[in-house]
């Protein structure tokens, strides 16, 4: 589901539930980071498939770890932003890197169910997740997750 807010529902809800162990902003934003590949493939005219290597658990792990580390490097800025919006924020490099990885994995899981061209278990070609749920079921689950996310 590139360019959609659907991923924010499950990421926000799971991030909130497990906020003691994961970094919520890194976890949620990992769902955007992984779609940079889709945007590049689409806008640069590389053709199909749109979902390539970052939409695999293997390469996605590296993407998530790099994202978590980059976020860690930006921690002073992120800390100031969280303070400005009055959200208590304490984290560390390990938590941020793990959160990046888990956020990408969640994205790969959702897209693996939703998109035929995702190969989550690459280098294996078969997508065992494809159509475990219908498109509408995936969308409704994402919307419901967003709806039950606490606002504070």
Residue-wise pLDDT tens digits, 22-51: 999 999 999 888 888 877 777 766 666 666
Predicted pLDDT at 1: 47
Three-class HEC string of the chain: CCCCCCCHHHHHHHHHHCCCCCCHHHHHHHHHHCCHHHHHHHHCCCCCCCCCHHHCHHHHHHHHHHHHHHHHHCHHHHHHHHHHCCCCCCCCHHHHHHHHHHHHHHHHHHHHHHCCCCCCCCCCCCCCCCCCCCHHHHHHHHHHHHHHCCCC
Closest among 8, 23, 151, 17 to 78, alpha carbons compared: 23
Of 40-44, 79-83, 89-93, the one with minimum mean pLDDT is 40-44
Predicted pLDDT at 19: 87
pTM of the model: 0.87
Predicted pLDDT at 88: 77
Task: Give the mean pLDDT of the chain.
Answer: 86
Average pLDDT on 142-146 reads 90
Predicted pLDDT at 77: 87
């Amino acid at each position: 589901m590139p360019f959609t807010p659907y991923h924010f529902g499950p990421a926000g809800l799971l991030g909130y539930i497990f906020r003691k162990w994961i970094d919520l902003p890194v976890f949620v934003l990992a769902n955007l980071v992984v779609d940079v590949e889709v945007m590049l493939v689409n806008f640069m005219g590389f053709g199909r498939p749109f979902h390539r290597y970052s939409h695999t658990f293997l390469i996605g792990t590296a993407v998530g770890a790099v994202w978590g580390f980059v976020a860690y490097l930006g921690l002073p800025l992120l800390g100031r932003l969280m303070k400005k919006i009055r959200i208590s924020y304490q984290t560390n490099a390990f938590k941020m890197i793990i959160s990046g990885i888990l956020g990408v994995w969640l994205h790969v899981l959702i897209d693996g169910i939703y998109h035929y061209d995702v190969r989550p278990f690459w280098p294996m070609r078969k997508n065992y997740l494809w159509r475990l749920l219908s498109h509408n079921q995936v969308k409704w689950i994402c919307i419901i997750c967003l709806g039950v996310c606490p606002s504070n």
